[in-house]
Homo-oligomer: A and B are copies of this chain.
């Protein structure tokens, strides 16, 4: 069987790693990893090579001819690049168009949200999508909601603190607005199905493991942990005001990673919990196909099942070993 030749950017990152796992598990793909020179000699890239993946080292901002040559010959290019680096994809899109790539999967992999000043990085992604359309390049956009792995609140005992990445334990408005969640382990499985399906060419697709409110998550975590959560309640007005301030702080200091993150966190909070952007209904309104309808046989990992694994210490902490400035328990 001739395998689908995939070139994956970001395989050493969180989403890229999840996608790589899903593609390998599926077995239909021959996956090479596109690596930027700055990380070519890293241990993580070495490990990709040891796992049998071709490593393609190329500078996205260097010679355009070299970039075109590097991406030529792959059926599918999948990009999973860090949130602040979205616009680094622009030249990759140009190169994919020049090389005649049959399907370009840009770095979406976020909650469903329209462009236009709601979530900052969504607008960065839009500029990449516009470049795709500029070239008439075949594409698939895949959004997946918010990670289970980034949705665990802090336990009062402190026993899971070392495994949390965001732990504000805040409930916005009445806590009953639902949004879409995915277990990171499901993402690659969805992507493997989506990128070998002709129905998804030139489409947006949303894929999610669960559709839960904050109160649903609290209930599951309290039940699984046996602990009563300590929660802070913020009104819609308070949350929107904090987002405004986070934006002002960021605009005043745009190279600050922590200010970018604080801005981004409240962009997501307002979009998910106030605006209700990240729902199946809104995704369909925005023209997305539903992966659950396309692949009804796919079994996903619900949040309760995930919490069992999490409390049994079977879940890898995202960004392990990296300081990303997000872990700040604000309780007590």
Contacts and interface: CB of A to CB of B under 8 A. Distances in A.
Interface string A120-136: 00000001001101101
Mostly helix, strand, loop or mixed at chain A's interface? loop
Given A115-B130, A116-B134, A134-B114, A287 B285 contact: no
Contact of A202 (B127, B136, B285): B285
A276 B135 CA distance: 10
A118 interface: yes
A282 interface: yes
A138 B281 CA distance: 12
B202 A287 contact: yes
Interface range on chain A (Cβ under 8 Å from partner) = 10 to 19
A285 B115 contact: no
Q: How many copies does the complex hold?
A: 2
Interface in A79-122: 114-118
Contacts of A276: 136
A46 to B, nearest CB: 39
A277 B118 CA distance: 29
A117 B135 CA distance: 12
Contacts of A130: 114-117
Given A118-B134, A133-B285, A136-B276, 7 more contacts: A114-B134, A116-B127, A116-B130, A116-B134, A117-B134, A138-B285, A202-B285
Interface of A: 114-118, 127, 130-131, 133-134, 136, 138, 202-203, 276, 282, 285-287
